[in-house]
Amino acid sequence: MLIACGCKSHKAVLINSSAEFRADDVWILTQIRGKEVECANGQEVPFLQINPEASTFSGVNGCNKYFGTFKDLGNGKMELSDFNGTKKACPESFRKLENSYMQLFRKCNGYNLGAATLELLQDDKVVLTFELLEQEKE
């Protein structure tokens, strides 16, 4: 999946009315610590997928793919572990976003899940905000 940067907004119209993680949902990173995500020219927008059935997460951090284990602890608490990913050489201009995203992502231990938004928390502070990607219905 390639999602090119450039647009400031990725409006999601597909509604997750159950407000539960679904394996086919793709969450596009829109904010880091309340600031709009800015990608370098040609850089892929970071995204996240959480598969609750398999207890895994995966995505792209702006250059490399990443994946690991996701455990929902209930009441908006979670545990991320077993981090791994690709190590492809990325342009220097991609590294700032990739590094800041992964540093914060690794420390997330909670979430607020809405119909079309996902906030990842470090303790009780929102550090990463995502919007649900609109997907074509079959």
CATH number, residue 89: 2.40.128.270
Domain-located, residue 13: no
Domain-located, residue 112: yes
pLDDT score of 24 more than 90: yes
Q: Among residues of the chain, what percentage have pLDDT more than 90? A: 80
Q: Return the DSSP state at 33.
A: T
What pLDDT does residue 45 have?
94
* Count of domains for the chain: 1
Instruction: Band the pLDDT of 137: cuts 50, 70, 90.
Output: low
Cα dihedral angle (90, 127, 27, 36), rounded to 10 degrees?
-70
Each residue's pLDDT tens digit, 33-51: 999 999 999 999 999 999 9
Helix (H, G, I), strand (E, B) or coil at 32: strand
pLDDT score of 4 more than 80: no
Q: Which amino acid type is present at position 128?
A: L
Tell me if 23 sits within 8 A of 51, measured CB to CB.
Answer: yes
Per the structure, the complete domain to which residue 54 belongs is given by 27-130
Q: Which amino acid type is present at position 91?
A: P
Each residue's pLDDT tens digit, 76-128: 999 999 999 999 999 999 999 999 999 999 999 999 999 899 999 999 999 99
Domain-located, residue 6: no
Domain-located, residue 40: yes
Domain-located, residue 135: no
Tell me if 56 sits within 8 A of 80, measured CB to CB.
Answer: no
Domain-located, residue 96: yes
